[in-house]
Chain A
Amino acid sequence: MYVAVKGGEKAIDAAHRLLSEGRRGDPSVPEITTEQISEQLALAVDRVMNEGSLYDRGLASLAVKQARGDLTEAIFLVRAARTTLARFGYTEPANTSAMLIRRRVSAAFKDIPGGQILGPTFDYTHRLLDAGFDRTSPSLVPETPSSEIPKVLAMLGQEGLIEQPQASGTAPGDVTQEPASFPMPRDQRLQTLARGDEGFLLSLAYSTQRGFGRTHPFAGEIRLGEVEIEFTPVELGFPVVIGEVTLTECEMINQFIGSADVPPQFTRGYGLGFGHCERKVMSMALVDRSLRADELGEERVAPAQDEEFVISHCDNVQATGFVEHLKLPHYVDFQSELILLRKLRAEANVMQEAAE
């Protein structure tokens, strides 16, 4: 017999009130505003936009505040918010070559046209905790920017030393609209990785460096900056710029291959994300390259090369839903297991007594 259990409304209501109280914290401490979160915890907001798969700083900041800084919870809130909005359509592909560069580095070439632009990076900080980090430092001396900052990998491409991305011209698949099936085309894999959990992708990327599916990578180019986005409304019939977004892009150069038809050349992995998110896009590029094992005729030996494993487990909203649902009542399921176990033990006892 199945017995549905109801109740707990009062307890849930009180728990929500306690959550609210905890979220506010000590009332003598000023309340943080979403603008402060957006401006001063910008990278947390970027992560929520990325994995929430929704570019909107205001909503992501609100989510961070509402989730008390639990970014996975904030990402969940953003994913839920997006389902309440109608989709108007698809934009034109962002042109990262025309990015207004704030940071651009290459680990493969020292001298590149446009130069190595370090931008706002933690890379050369000493990682010393310093309570006075926000003291006003002397303002930056502006320099004349380079007129052109070309893509580093395009220069290698001119010599034929690296594979060139081919544009298929067909509309890409959309994992938010179609159920996933394997093998999954690279466009849909990249969409899934772009919204995938940074920690999961980071660990997988790390595993490829440690020998679990060797990719032998060089950071060909990492760039951060603003890109204008164009959209073609049906009623206008021509593309219009609807705004600009901050993007981070990583183009990874990977070990060379060759075949009977193609002379040895470098291959590439690609990462692109919302906001400033280098760790994420570097991990994405490494995992993207690992997942091309079948396409490039490599033996699949490591977790990072297993498409179904990576793609099915990289979404932290799915993952947290399935893991955390274990907290919810499973009274009936557990009762049935208890009954079964007691029955088995009773049978075992009977058999043992009979044997004695």
Chain B
Amino acid sequence: MTDAAFATPAHDSARSFRPILDAMANPGKIYSFKPAVQAPAGLGPEAAAVALVLCDFQSPIWLERSLRMAEILQYIRFHTGAPITNSKPEAMFAFIDATRAVPSLTDFPMGTQEYPDRSVTLVIKAERLTANPDVTFKGPGIQSTRGFSAPHLSPAFWSSMIASRTGFPLGMDVIFVGSHQVAALPRSTQISIDGAV
């Protein structure tokens, strides 16, 4: 059975797009994100809104195992038209529920020298995003430094994010969603784990 999504797609998607755009422009800053959207329980309204706003039939989506539920697959296929892929290298978006499992990031596409944009955007669901400085961000869009924390994201995850930055402009971008929250980590942001940038 297919769930409904946005009630008024043009307005609702524009309203959802704005905080995502702001988050991407201000890495690590946590924005209020309360999309008016119906979504399957396992996916949640925030991640669902990101999918509805950013994905279409040309952006293959990879789902972390705990999200591969029939109602989520059906919802994403129906409302975005995006193909669901089980192959990480094909993914343009990867949806990950960090409260369940964070997969290895090594096989996701990082773009090519000619087309750095042909890379994955990770959409990571967390319970609560905070400004606690588990990690510290620095770079374009940040005045000096900005602290960021999301539970369930291990030092190993942050290490692999740091490693993914060595080939800049190749890399991956991340959108974090928490309950009524959104934040982002574009590839241009430098990350330090111990607070020393």
Shortest CB–CB separation between residue B52 and chain A, in angstroms? 11
Query: For this complex, into which size category does the number of interface residues on chain B fall?
Result: under 10
**Nearest B residue (CB) for A84:** B10
A87 touching B77, Cβ below 8 Å? no
A177 to B56, CA, bound (A): 13
Other than A86-B56, A234-B77, A235-B2, give 7 A-B pairs with Cβ distance below 8 A: A87-B57, A87-B58, A88-B57, A89-B57, A89-B81, A234-B57, A235-B78
B78 touching A234, Cβ below 8 Å? yes
Shortest CB–CB separation between residue A25 and chain B, in angstroms? 34
A86 to B52, CA, bound (A): 12
Q: Lowest 9 CB-CB distances: which A-B pairs, in order?
A: A235-B78, A89-B57, A234-B77, A234-B81, A86-B56, A88-B81, A89-B81, A235-B77, A87-B56
Q: How many residues of A contact B (CB 8 A)?
A: 7
A88 to B58, CA, bound (A): 10
**Nearest B residue (CB) for A90:** B57
Residue numbers in B under 8 Å from A88 (CB-CB) = 57, 81
A177 touching B58, Cβ below 8 Å? yes
A87 to B81, CA, bound (A): 10
A88 to B2, CA, bound (A): 18
Residue numbers in B under 8 Å from A177 (CB-CB) = 58
A88 to B9, CA, bound (A): 14
Shortest CB–CB separation between residue A177 and chain B, in angstroms? 7
Shortest CB–CB separation between residue A203 and chain B, in angstroms? 35
A89 to B57, CA, bound (A): 7
Shortest CB–CB separation between residue A27 and chain B, in angstroms? 35
0/1 per residue, A310-330, Cβ < 8 Å to B? 000000000000000000000
A235 to B76, CA, bound (A): 10
0/1 per residue, B24-57, Cβ < 8 Å to A? 0000000000000000000000000000000011
A234 to B58, CA, bound (A): 13
Residue numbers in B under 8 Å from A87 (CB-CB) = 56-58
